[in-house]
Amino acid sequence: MGNSEFEEKIEQESALFEAEILDVEILESDDEVLAPQAPVVSMESLPITGEARVDDALGRLADLQGLPVHEHADVFEDVQRRLHDTLADLAGQ
């Protein structure tokens, strides 16, 4: 493979890699960089499962909207724990 072919291959691979990683296009406006807002999570947009404990756990996801990002992990961990506990209870029935 010649040097120019190699460089072309690297460029193609880099473009594919970028396309896979960049889910969100960052918009630039003057000196400010703007990122799109996350979708709003509300109780109406969450699925209703019919299992009250699962619905309550999923309802915690609506709390994400008002929290800073560094606090999201705590919410996700709580939801995961509650779903796991519910699944364990249901498996034991």
**Where in the chain are the domains?**
3-91
Per-residue pLDDT of the chain (93 residues; tens, 9 = 90+): 566 676 776 776 666 555 554 444 445 555 555 555 555 666 567 778 888 999 999 888 888 888 888 999 999 999 999 999 999 998 886
What pLDDT score does 21 carry?
47
Sign of CA dihedral 77, 79, 82, 85: negative
What pLDDT score does 3 carry?
64
Residues in CB range of 80: below 8 A, 6 or more apart: none
Residues in CB range of 11: below 8 A, 6 or more apart: none
Question: Tokens 């008002």 belong to which residue?
Answer: 66
Q: Which two tokens stand for residue 50?
A: 């019919």
Phi, psi of 65 (to 5 degrees): -55, -40
What pLDDT score does 30 carry?
54
Q: Rounded to 10 degrees, what is the CA torsion of 40, 86, 84, 45?
A: -10
Q: Which two tokens stand for residue 89?
A: 């209870």
What pLDDT score does 5 carry?
72
